[in-house]
Structure 1
């Protein structure tokens, strides 16, 4: 099969490799569409430490080809999307990929593979942050009183999914910070419930003042920082009331929150960590349940993926996609590739 590997300089190489075999608790998926994520260019300079090029793809949509032992609910030919286990072999930058069964979910016939491939990593990062880290009300037990939530980076894929899930949980007002993707964020929020958008390009002091104004006199105790750089931590903690909690994907190493404000990191890969790795079953089982919830939402029409752009050339198109992600060109969009467009794929 054809498989793409990314080196520490974000240079892509396509090789012929063997089709992997699923182990117990895993499924083998014939990949139709692979998504991309910022981690796909950020991680190679750091891991593996010896600089070995790796298949960095984690978001995929396609058909079940085979299942390992002890897999329930999936059969050859099922249309699925999946979250490949981060930092493990056989990722989505290939004709066939391996994924754990608990991070694989059925997608309806009406959902395109392109849309489905935008969902797994970003949506799970959003869900873990909201519900496992911030402990906010779940969609099936929604909030009954106003609950201000700052979403910094609302046009990012993670930020957009945070908004979608928060609305399902009746969390309002949503105070969203965005920039050139504000028009997209406008389609996600509910102005009638007090949601608003603040343009970070107006400057830090204006952003902080407008966040406080948007809260309508209520204290702000929760924030999801989907940016994690360019002063986002500081802008968020400046408007919060202790006790307050911020969750973010990217922690600034020298950042220290003010007294009474706690900041923690949300890593989607925690849904893959075993108890042997020092992780409890909590995130694993949450991921298993929530991915099925997402699949039901796609089927019933109350959930959707992220806007996407198909990069031509199949696996070869990943080179330009990763370079554009690195250059910060992606706003309110996910880059995806169709594996069948790869030269040499039958």
Structure 2
């Protein structure tokens, strides 16, 4: 029997103790006109894949966010752009307390086609998984809501009166979100100034940063402020969100109109300058549904977020089609479900630098 006709699937879920375990579940089906069912061929790992189960445990919830796969069925509003056999990548809200069946660490998933990217034939499945959707979705929210930047790849921000471009700090430029941010900011008319380790500076420059400052330098913030932005920095995207990264960003930012986007919650006692506007973009919100997390991570349902995500999806699709946007360097972890578990442990231990961990679920691909 064709695997597409099977009624069940294997997946990786949270156990009662919070650890990943494999289970057999009913294969999901179409629920709305924009839905597609995807046969997942590869997944990529993100810090949220182990942080969410720890902070908002939901036993039985399917884990995972970023994925690559092939459409096997599409709703009435999706079948024109995403007919069966279309190769796609994207992201879902894994470990979701509000909908425990939505994770990507599964042989099949159903998702809204308005946030999907059609993957070019030149990309492997593992490269498609590395592109996923968490990275560009985070950058979209950070640019539009957190930092309120008006430039887009399709309509770049104009240069300043002296011909220079508006600088934007990307702290953690060698992360997957960091390299995505450097690419998109550069194509949107801005000058991304990144922090990274000395060993990763070449990588970050190759992905569009105009300059790289070592984050380990005790004067990192002062160097960014005085040497690279002349005290006029107004926008910072912090892909690390640690006490050290917040201190550096707050030091680098100028005195007037400064905005900071942190990918995790920044406690009040880390915020040394109250005039800086702080915002945490939460990528899951792009689906428009309520995010049933605790405290500052909770989000009310907001259909306008799906509209924002769809607009940015169109921007990303154009860049991918034109060969202008690329995924973070992929590093395969073999072993299917065990590979995912092993990869998450590697990330927890801080063993991943300048690479996106990806795992093939069909056993056919490698990079």
TM-score where L is the length of structure 2: 0.85
Distance 1:338 1:281, change over 3 A: same
| Equivalent residue number for residue 19 of structure 1 | 27
| Other structure's SS at 1:94 match | coil
| Equivalent residue number for residue 176 of structure 1 | 194
The superposition leaves residues 170-208 of structure 1 with CA deviations (integer Å, 9 ceiling, x where unpaired) of 212x22111243231121235xxxx211111122xx102
Q: Which of 247, 258, 262 is the aligned partner of 2:273?
A: 258
Q: Does 1:201 align with 2:209?
A: no
Q: Does 1:41 align with 2:19?
A: no
| Other structure's SS at 2:130 match | coil
The total of aligned residue pairs comes to 333
Q: What value does the CA root-mean-square deviation take over the aligned residues?
A: 2.1
Aligned 1:1-346 pairs, distance under 5 A: 1-7=9-15, 11-24=19-32, 25-48=34-57, 51-72=58-79, 73-86=81-94, 87=96, 88=99, 89-119=101-131, 120-136=133-149, 137-143=151-157, 144-145=159-160, 146-172=165-191, 174-179=192-197, 180-189=199-208, 195-203=210-218, 206-217=219-230, 219-241=232-254, 242-254=256-268, 255-274=270-289, 278-341=300-363
Q: CA deviation at 1:5?
A: 1.6
- Separation in 2, partners of 1:279, 1:289: 18
The superposition leaves residues 31-90 of structure 1 with CA deviations (integer Å, 9 ceiling, x where unpaired) of 011111100011112223xx5143211111111011235435221111111211342314
Runs of 5+ consecutive residues of structure 1 not aligned to the other structure: none
Q: CA deviation at 1:218?
A: 5.1
The superposition leaves residues 64-119 of structure 1 with CA deviations (integer Å, 9 ceiling, x where unpaired) of 01123543522111111121134231421111112112211211211222111122
> 2:146, 2:278 within 8 Å by CA — same for their partners in 1?
no
Runs of 5+ consecutive residues of structure 2 not aligned to the other structure: 1-8, 292-298
The superposition leaves residues 129-151 of structure 1 with CA deviations (integer Å, 9 ceiling, x where unpaired) of 11332121112221222211111
| Other structure's SS at 1:85 match | coil
- Separation in 2, partners of 1:316, 1:9: 17
- Separation in 2, partners of 1:103, 1:207: 37
> 1:275, 1:281 within 8 Å by CA — same for their partners in 2?
no
Q: Which has the higher contact order (CA 8 A, sep 6+)?
A: 1
- Separation in 1, partners of 2:230, 2:64: 44
| Other structure's SS at 1:341 match | coil
The superposition leaves residues 284-328 of structure 1 with CA deviations (integer Å, 9 ceiling, x where unpaired) of 112112223222222211111111111111122111100011111
- Separation in 1, partners of 2:24, 2:52: 23
TM-score where L is the length of structure 1: 0.89
